Amino acid sequence: MKLDHSYILPSLMALMVHIVVAFIFMSEWQSQSKRTPPVQIKQRVEATLIDLDSLLAQQKQVVSAADKKAADKKAADKKKAVKKAADKKKQLKKPQIRKPQIRKKQLKKPQTKKLQIRKKQQIRKPQIRKPQIRKKQLKKPQTRK
């Protein structure tokens, strides 16, 4: 078999194009790794263990302490209200004794029977005021002729 000279030249050209493309890819790939530094991975991990049971117990203690404080406050407020109500009842039940006040005028002049009767009449008969008519109401409107 004879080699056809018509296939040698195109196959050599295709091989050269592939080599050029591969060289471009390699150079871009290497230059890209130089642009970004590689990611450093930590070799050691710092970790702490948490005991969830003790954490939950602490939270319950905090909540119960707050509830107890609120209950104590309510009880104290209730005691104050009861004590205040009891004091009011005592004041209402306890008659207030008022000492009669002696006026100086009464000591100086004893009232006569006539004055006492007049005062009683004033108390019994309230004074009725007559309606006052204003001067403006008395004037008649003037009409034009």
1 band by pLDDT with thresholds 50, 70 and 90: very low
DSSP summary character for residue 48: -
pLDDT at 139: 57
* Tens-digit pLDDT profile for residues 54-76: 999 999 999 999 999 999 999 99
Say if residue 23's pLDDT is above 70: yes
Give percent above pLDDT 70 in the chain. 61
* Tens-digit pLDDT profile for residues 10-22: 899 999 999 999 9
Distance in angstroms (rounded) separating the CA atoms of residues 14 and 132: 130
